[in-house]
Amino acid sequence: MNGQKMFSYNSDKWTPGMAYQERDHEIIDYELYQDKKTGLWLRGPEPGRLERGRYIACVGGAQTFGCFSENPFTRLLQQALDVPVVNFGIGGAGPSFFLQNEKVFGILNEAACTIVQVMSGRSESNSVFDTGGLAYVTRRSDGRRLGARKAYQDLLRQKIIFGRKELKRIITETRDNWVQNYRSLLEKIDVPVVLFWFAMREPDFRERYLHVSTLLGKFPHLVNGEMMEAIKDGADEYVHCVTDRGNPQRLISRFTGKPAKVDPGRPRKDLKGRHWSHNFYYPSPEMHEDAAGLLVPLCKKFVA
């Protein structure tokens, strides 16, 4: 394993960063560390001592975590502003994940400002799925655990049983829960909040009940303009970053410098047999540069 520390999936307070470290071992070392206050495993390097009002906190999903990027926007912020940045990027997370982790707010509410990424709608629970705030869900009818995409794909295939009207009700319920939990998340943050749209698409999304891809749309899945308008007033600032620069990103081994592939099915059995030679899904390093270019001037006034 080239000396890289691997993690047990029975670890206390397991988070998806551990799965990313195992999956992407050939490409990148995320320098994971366990935060002492929350018990969560976060992307490093560990920021060290945090002084009230003298650091930035970032909340979000895999895009904030920075999959396949040596310098995600969080690290670029730290370098540009010369202040510690705490990266609470949790893969597959939605707003309810952070609402369930009360100790996180002890860190968010002592920062100079907190950046909250617009996260996926498919990570929200509804009357059919219990997500726990992440994108790996439990189907309520049979207790089966499966990825959110597979769960919605199965649901779509059952539209003959459910009917289109019932499917639309489930989607509306999911979106309503997302909005409610986002508003609650923003309300619990006492310091200035920057709401951050970081995606390869605009918010003007309308689902079609043809295929799981047209139902969920591109990241942030299910989120549309109406949902954004419903939460924007809960933030002090809004940053809109739509970019696909550098996408797709060729994956390169950090050991050999040659093209490499990763197995997204490790440790997830439902993705076995697929291999990625390129990163099509997560923000590329160039996209992170675009994000930092918009965030740095805004955050500068909060840490001055």
Residue pair 69/284 in contact (Cβ under 8 Å)? The answer is yes
For residue range 87-116, list pLDDT tens digits in order. Answer: 999 999 999 999 999 999 999 999 999 999
As a whole number of angstroms, the distance between CA 96 and CA 84 comes to: 26
Whether the per-residue pLDDT at 24 is higher than 60: the answer is: yes
Going from the C-alpha of 87 to that of each of 30, 102, 182, 289, 291, the distances in angstroms are 11, 16, 19, 16, 15
Residue 93, pLDDT score: 97
Rounded Cα–Cα distance for residues 304 and 295 (Å) = 14
The number of helices, as runs of H, and strands, as runs of E, in the chain is: 11, 12
d(CA 233, CA 118): 14
Asked if residue 297 has pLDDT above 60, the reply is yes
Which letter, b or e, does each residue of 279-304 get, where b requires 16 or more Cβ atoms within 10 Å of its Cβ? bebbbbbebbbbbbebbeebbeebbe
Percentage of the chain lying above the pLDDT 70 cut: 91
Beta bridge partners of 85: 56
Span 128-136, mean pLDDT? 94
Tell me phi and psi for residue 149, to 5 degrees. Answer: -60, -45
| Summary mean pLDDT of the chain | 91
Structure tokens at 160: 């003959």
Alpha carbon distance 73, 174 (integer Å): 29
Whether residue 280 has pLDDT greater than 90: yes
- Give the model's pLDDT for residue 266: 56
